[in-house]
Amino acid sequence: MQKIKKQKSHGLPLMCGLLPLLLQLPVHAQVNVQTNTVSMQQYLAAVENNSLDLQAQQELVTSARAGISIASVRPDPQLTAGIDSREMYGPNKPNTATTSIAGIAITVETANKRGARIQAAESNVRLTEAGVSAYRRQLLSDASNAFTETCRSAMSLARRDSSLNAMRDIVKMNETRFKTGDIGKQELVQSKVEADRFAMDVTSARADTINAEAQLSNFLGKSYQEIFADRKIDCSGSQDEMTADLTTLTRQALEKREDIQVARSASENAKDNIELARANRWIDPVVNLGIKNTPRVNAIQNASGTVTNSPAERSSPLSLTVTIPIPFSRMQSGELSQAQSALTQAQLQLRSTLMKAETEVRGSYLQYQAALQNIKNYKEHVLEDSDRLLQSVRTSYRKGAASMLELLNAQRNADEIYQAYLQAEATLAMARIKLQQSTAYQMK
């Protein structure tokens, strides 16, 4: 009688090895791994280097930095040149000179408007950088989850494929037992039907795995194959348990979380915008400097030698005037009200973000601890007991002491427990990702 292959219930360490290296930032560091596999570090580095969405976000920083140069521009001076006086009446033309003028007008900025503009532009750069940093972390978090799900799907497929092989071995054994008269045809047919059902489960699991692998390309800006060719993802890594206490993680989150940095930068930018609005309410005088040139008028004499015009020497008077606008428009203070409202909104948003951060850290920490305990229970008790029970029923079935129904129930229960274990591994990985993201945790 052919022996049935022993099915191993304890799979490869799954997601704890994949648990995001998201927060081992930056992810540009070189990692020593096998050349035919792709680790999570390498995948996240590729996401950061190739993501089109991240590149689009980084252009916002470039634009914001250009705003500093724009803010530093001073008002352009205005040049004036032309003819101030030219006689158009024919009889008087010989008696008059054409007067030309030239001048320059300079706007004098008051209340340090240029400094206020630059300060507001610089705080806007910090705000934009914080926003891009928050987007980057979320992108890497989502990519880590996709990587984790791909590993879970691959491990699930491996388990179902193993169960299918075990069922096919039972079919081969039953064919031998049927020939020797140990079982009837009905039991043989039932085992074949069950093997076909296991095969359909494998087909569905393979489709899920292919789809999960395809999702990896969404974060890369190009296809996975284009970057990594035929290299498979590495699901066999390991990572230490996060041991920091809740108080430490909460304090770290309030100091380093990107969304909190964004809220703080928004508040600072709103304060700078108020200063700019106040400076803009000051009027700017215009200094005008000009010169007028009137050429010499020579004497004109008639036939008797009498001077018939008013001769004059060349004249070049200089003028200096100051133009000051009358600030009727400053009787309203709408721009100050808007700037103050924006500051109040930013400060309220900061308080709300701080409160939500504390709540999120606490929830993420509890979820991570629960997921960690579940994995320990699976590894220390559930998987081993399930494996032992399945092997016992298989042995009993081989000896004729257990029915096909009992064997199938044991196989399905063992598979369900193992699939639940894989999901618990994925849950632990995602809980770690969420905890790391909510606390801006940096791996050592």
Residue 278 pLDDT greater than 90, yes or no = yes
Instruction: Round to whole Å and give the CA distance between 442 and 370.
Output: 21
Q: Is residue 301 part of a domain?
A: no
Q: Is residue 255 part of a domain?
A: yes
Residue 316 pLDDT greater than 80, yes or no = yes
What is the average per-residue pLDDT within 49-71?
96
Most confident of the following: 57-71, 81-95, 229-243, 395-409: 57-71
Which residue range is the domain that position 31 belongs to?
Answer: 15-74+112-280+355-439
pLDDT score for 238: 59
Pairing of β 232-233 and β 37-38: parallel
pLDDT score for 130: 95
Percentage of the chain exceeding pLDDT 70: 91
Q: How many helices (H) and strands (E) does the chain have?
A: 11, 6
Residue 400 pLDDT greater than 90, yes or no = no
Q: Is residue 434 part of a domain?
A: yes
Instruction: Give the 3-state secondary structure of residue 81.
Output: strand
pLDDT score for 187: 87
pLDDT score for 22: 34
pLDDT tens for 236-275 read 765 667 888 899 999 999 999 999 999 999 999 999 999 9
CATH number at residue 365: 1.20.1600.10
Residue 262: both structure tokens together: 């964004």
What is the average per-residue pLDDT within 111-117?
95
Q: Is residue 100 part of a domain?
A: no
pLDDT score for 35: 60
pLDDT tens for 195-210 read 999 999 999 999 999 9
Residue 13 pLDDT greater than 80, yes or no = no
Among candidates 232, 233, 213, 228, which has minimal Cα distance to 50? 228
Q: Is residue 342 part of a domain?
A: no
pLDDT score for 139: 94
Residue 328 pLDDT greater than 80, yes or no = yes
Q: Is residue 287 part of a domain?
A: no
Buried (b) or exposed (e) across 35-51, using 16+ Cβ within 10 A? eeebbbbbbbbbbbeeb
pTM for the full model? 0.79
Q: What is the mean pLDDT of the chain?
A: 87
Q: Could you tell me the pLDDT band of residue 57, with boundaries at 50, 70 and 90? A: very high
Instruction: Round to whole Å and give the CA distance between 167 and 313.
Output: 121
Instruction: Round to whole Å and give the CA distance between 314 and 99.
Output: 10
pLDDT tens for 289-299 read 999 999 988 88
Q: Is residue 218 part of a domain?
A: yes
Buried (b) or exposed (e) across 101-140, using 16+ Cβ within 10 A? bebebeeebebebeebbbbbbbbbbbbbbbbbbbbbbebb
In the chain, how many domains are there? 1
Q: Could you tell me the pLDDT band of residue 211, with boundaries at 50, 70 and 90? A: very high
What is the average per-residue pLDDT within 178-199?
89
Q: Position 99: which residue type?
A: T
One-character DSSP codes across 101-164: EEEEEEE---TTHHHHHHHHHHHHHHHHHHHHHHHHHHHHHHHHHHHHHHHHHHHHHHHHHHHH
Q: Which residue has the higher pLDDT, 124 or 190?
A: 124
Q: Is residue 149 part of a domain?
A: yes
Return the ∠ at Cα 6 (arms to 2 and 10), rounded to 5°: 170
One-character DSSP codes across 199-257: HHHHHHHHHHHHHHHHHGGGGTSS-HHHHHTTPEE------PPP---HHHHHHHHHHH-
Residue 65 pLDDT greater than 70, yes or no = yes
Instruction: Round to whole Å and give the CA distance between 425 and 15.
Output: 5
Q: Could you tell me the pLDDT band of residue 398, with boundaries at 50, 70 and 90? A: confident
What are the φ/ψ torsions at residue 319 (nearest 5 degrees)?
A: -125, 145
